[in-house]
Amino acid sequence: MLFKYSLPLSILLFTNISLGKASFIPSGILQSTNETSSIEMFCRGEEPYQTMDCEFIQKSLRKTNTTPEHEIDNFSKVDKKELQKMETDLRKQCKIDHRSSEVLQTSLKQTQEQENKLMLDLCDCVKNKPFRSCFSTFIIGAADLKDKTCKIAVSSFTESFKKIGKNKWMNTPKPQGLCNNVNAITLEYDEKSQWTYTQTRLASDNDELCKFDTNVAIKYKSGPTTHKVNCEYVDLGVAL
């Protein structure tokens, strides 16, 4: 038998075995140190890897930051004219059949039924009670459903790196994207064959939609990939 003992899967995935010696491979799946997010990286280069071109796929699981109190507070600011328009539109919507489609697979149908029940209860309520009171109850139920819903975000990007230390590489920061974000990214490789990805936003535009924290390091490290999350529903239709 060639090998007396089996190797851990993580080593088999990211290490070449040649004449009993492990070869350096600049690839791996890294986990965020402060959120439910991971980065899969694959880099290309030639030894001694003075430069590397890397591809990244970032995957994140997020929840919408909202509370019933916040939604009710926003609703309380709606003026009388807008409230009347909302009520007119709702009564039109209440004439639509809100039962779930038979073609939906089980997980989608269960979610749709939950949403439809909120709508049906609202339509029943406005038959006998004031619209504002009924809609406030609807908002609370919808906010509770949203609080139990997670959203998946997936993005990909590429970066080129130059070696700046024994086991450390850095990109050339430059403005990118709609907000002209300038990100400094470093890759570090330790003696345990573990990678650390560190990204620091140095600058961005001053527009309202581009107000991000700067000079705050975001880190991803090699490690376990399974997360415990508090989600009853997953929204696959929203790109974040």
Domains along the chain? Answer: 24-63+151-235 (2.40.128), 68-148 (no CATH)
Please report, in tens digits, the pLDDT of each residue of the chain (240 residues total).
Answer: 433 334 343 433 343 333 334 456 688 999 999 889 999 999 999 988 999 999 999 999 988 777 788 888 888 888 989 999 999 999 888 887 656 555 556 777 778 888 889 999 999 999 999 999 999 999 999 888 888 888 998 999 999 999 999 999 999 999 888 888 899 999 999 888 899 999 999 988 888 888 778 888 999 999 888 888 888 888 887 555
Helix (H, G, I), strand (E, B) or coil at 55: strand
pLDDT at 6: 40
**Phi, psi at 65, each rounded to 5°:** -80, 95
DSSP state of 25: -
* pTM recorded for the entire structure: 0.71
Distances (CA, A) of 71 to 118, 139, 173: 16, 7, 40
Inter-residue contact 152 to 63 (CB < 8 Å) = no
**Phi, psi at 128, each rounded to 5°:** -125, -15
Cis peptide preceding 48, ω within 30 of 0: yes
pLDDT at 236: 82
pLDDT at 148: 86
Distances (CA, A) of 91 to 82, 96, 138: 14, 9, 14
pLDDT at 14: 40
pLDDT at 239: 57
pLDDT at 126: 92
pLDDT at 13: 39
